[in-house]
Every structure is written in structure tokens, then in C-alpha cells.
Amino acid sequence: MRETFTKGMARNIYYGGAVFFFLVLIGLTVDTVKSIPKTDNRENLSEQVVAGKYLWEVNDCIGCHTLLGEGAYFAPELGNVYTRFGKSTDAIKGFIKSRPKTGIPGRRSMPQFNFTDEELEQIAQFLKYVDGIKIARDWPPNVQG
């Protein structure tokens, strides 16, 4: 690098740039937190949904599936599974319930988690709530996720 560009200048760009853009990030974060009540479907965040989210977490569903595109890419996207399954929580519950204990020979299969009926309802309600979040451009592009 040329001598006219000194180490001091480089250091100032680092400190100035880092502080400035960090403050912008905080500012945009405040704005985002204020704006998301319009999109985040919080009106449907019932106790049942919260319990469903907990079950989603403690069974590490994200380790195979994506949810709004984030997670593992081994199994289908579930952010829109409620729509894909014909807007039926029964269909979701039926699928989870019907998984064979020892899998399907040669193929990927979801484990059998032995959920109670109450738990199944909670998970289905959670997935219904996620489907209700308003995403930019209605991502994913189509019902297949």
C-alpha cells in the first residue's frame, strides 16, 4: 500500500466504521422490533403455541427440517406445512403420529417421537402459527417450500 495511506488512517477507518455501522445496526434493530407486530402473528401466540415451540426445540426438529428456510436441509420446510397439508392440523398430527418406529428400509424417515395427543395438538398449533407470519414476497416461492 502507498505511503500516503498511513497506518493511522487505516486505524481510524476501522474504529470509525465499526462504531458507526454498529450504531446503525442498533438503530435498525430498534425499528425492526417496533415494526414486527404488524407481521409476526403475535395475536395467535397462544399458550398452546408456546408449548408447541418448546416441543419443537427439545426434540431438535431444526436438526432435519428448515423453518422459514433456516435449519437443516435433510427434510422438508415446515414454515408453510400447514398450507401444504391443506390447512389441516389433523393432517400434520396424523403424519407425525404415523412414523414407523424402525424407519423405512433404505429411505429417510422421521423418528417416532411418541407424542401424546395434547403434545401433537401443541406442535400442530405452533406450525399453524408460523404459517401465519407475514413474510416478504410471501416466501417460499410455492407451496412445496
Partner 1 sequence: MKYESQGIAKMYFIAAIGLFVGQILFGVTLGLQYVMGDFLFPAIPFNVARMVHTNLLIVWLLFGFMGSAYYLVPEESERELYAPWLAKLMFWVFLAAGVLTILGYLLVPYATLAEMTMNHLLPTMGREFLEQPTITKIGIVIVVLAFLFNIGMTILTGKKTVITLVLITGLIGLAVFFLFAFYVPDNLVLDKYFWWFVVHLWVEGVWELIMASLLAYVLIKVTGVDREVIEKWLYIIIAMALISGLLGTGHHFFWIGTPDYWQWVGSIFSALEPIPFFMMTLFAFNVVNKRRRDHPNKAAVLWALGTAVMAFLGAGVWGFLHTLAPVNYYTHGTQITAAHGHMAFYGAYVMVVLTMISYSMPIMRGQKAANERAQVLEMWSFWLMTVSMVFITLFLTGAGVLQVYLQRYSETPLPFMVVQDKIEIFYWLREVAGLVFLIGLLLYVYSFFAKGKEVEDIGAAVTS
Which residues from 111-130 bind partner 1, rule CB under 8 A? 111-113, 129-130
Task: State the Cα–Cα distance between residues 102 and 55, nearest whole angstrom.
Answer: 22
Number of residues near partner 1 (by CB under 8 A): 77
Cβ distance to partner 1 smaller for residue 98 or 142: 142
Q: Which helix (H) or strand (E) holds 14?
A: helix 7-35
Cβ distance to partner 1 smaller for residue 13 or 88: 13
Residue 15-44 contact track with partner 1, rule CB under 8 A, x = bound:
--xx--xx-xx--xx-xxx-xx--xxxx--
Which residue from 4, 98, 107, 116 is in contact with partner 1, where contact means CB under 8 A?
107
Per-residue cell: 98 = 404415523
Per-residue cell: 13 = 477507518
Helices (H), 36-116: 47-58, 81-84, 89-97
